[in-house]
Structures are given as structure tokens and as C-alpha cells.
Structure 1
């Protein structure tokens, strides 16, 4: 067995969202998912980047006042949560959009599609037991 680390294999993956309103998105993910700020760059002055800790994962947010939030995207951010239906009630008061009700999928997940305040596609998923 080869135990030499592979330099091409990443140690982790961190999705990063670019937004014109970093504080708004940070507040959305904090209010919806309990995201906690783990990193701020720079530490003082106008913020450029925040790293948020969400459960065992991380989400980065970069400030760019020139980014177009209406541009179509092909990225979907998915969060595994304990209660999809409970979180759906919190999406719109936090500035997001609920795309429809949660549904139980045949692969054993309850899934709801939402958009964050910038219009980024987000899935909220929770495991459910499948009936045989």
C-alpha cells in the first residue's frame, strides 16, 4: 500500500460565493444554518472574504461590488440538515426564496430547493428512511 500523499488530491473542498453584499449573505447563512465566521480577511477595515463554518464544512464569501447576482449559474450548493421543513419557514424572512415544498426522494432524502438572497441555487436535504 502506497502511503505517500498525492499532491494532486485536495485535502478539502470549499465552495466560495461572490456577492455585492457580503454582510447580507453572511447573515442569511448564519440565520438559516447557524454559520459561524471562522476567518475574516482582512482582520480590520473593509472585508474582502469571510470563511464560514457550517457543521463540518466551510463556505467562503467574497465581496465584489461589481458582480451581477442576476447571472445564471450552474452551481448548486447542497446542505445536509436535520429538519428541512423547519428551515423552509426561515428562508424568506432571511431574504431567500423557497422554490417549492420539500419532497421525499426515492434515494432516501427529503429535499427542498431554495435560493439565497443573491439568487444562488441551494438544496436543503435530510435523510429519510425509505419504505420497501
Structure 2
């Protein structure tokens, strides 16, 4: 088995895709009008319009209702990203902080309220976990 993507369902796909393009510096691919993807080296962030849920079971995913998942992105310099994102992110949840497991993390919310973590491993053990 291979974990390949996380999909976020939204009521405003254009707004959310634009936010992630600006936040990550990645360009979205649009395989369909109501579906976009940000392909990374290890995983893909997919963003689907709420209308795509009609292809699945009705009510299977409700936009803006999840407060348990964290979308995590490895970045070169969390502090530099914080300076850049301070005016872009609707809410900074936690300014850059070094966590007990060795990552320096910045937590913020996207326009739909999803929690996002930009992190940089700061210790040898934290870097080894990503190798």
C-alpha cells in the first residue's frame, strides 16, 4: 500500500487553490474544472469542489467542518515562511516554535479553516525521521 494524497473539499475551489499556490509557491494542476492537485515529491494535496461529492456518497465530506487533521509541509526555513505568510494566512494559530520532537513548526489556518503546519527539522533525530 502507498499513501499518495490528501483531498480537501471546499465550497470555493478557486479561492482555496489560489491560497495554496501563494502559500506553497507550487502551481496547481487542474485535471477537471472542479478538481485541482498540488503534486509534491512525497504526496499530493488535492482540492475538490463540494460538487464532486455527488460522485461519492452524499454527505461523505462536508467543506470546512474538519478540525482534526493537519496538512503538513516541509519547508527550508519556518521563520522566513512566517514573515511571508503573516499577511496571507487568515489566522496564525502558533508562531514558529521548536517542538519537543525537534521540528520548528508554524501553524496557521487556510481560508476554509483547515489547519496547516509548515515545519523544518532542527535536530539530527528529526532530520533522520524524514530520511
TM bin (shorter chain): 0.7 to 0.9
TM-score, structure 1 normalization: 0.75
Runs of 4+ in 1 over 6 A off after TM superposition: none
C-alpha contact (below 8 Å) 2:27/2:38 kept by paired residues: yes
Q: Show the counterpart of 2:117.
A: 123
Indicate the structure (1 or 2) with the bigger Cα radius of gyration.
1
Root mean square deviation, CA, Å? 2.2
- Alignment equivalent of 1:33, drawn from 24, 31, 43: 24
Corresponding residue of 2:15: 24
Q: State the partner residue of 1:87.
A: 81
CA–CA separation in structure 2 for the residues paired with 1:13 and 1:76: 16
Looking at secondary structure, tell me which structure has more helix per residue: 2
Distance verdict in 2 for CA 1:109–1:95, change over 3 Å: closer
Q: Is the contact made by 1:33 and 1:54 (CA closer than 8 Å) also made in structure 2?
A: no
Gaps of 5+ in 2: 54-61, 125-131
Number of residue pairs the alignment of both structures matches:
115
Deviates more, 1:59-68 or 1:27-36: 59-68
Cross-structure match for 2:56: none
Displacement of 1:92 in angstroms is 4.4
| SS of structure 1 residue aligned to 2:5 | coil
* Distance in 2 of aligned mates of 1:72 and 1:57: 20
Tell whether the 8 Å contact from 2:89 to 2:109 is kept in structure 1 after alignment: no
Take 1:103 and 1:92, find their aligned partners in 2: how far apart are those partners? 15
Normalised by the length of structure 2, the TM-score is 0.75
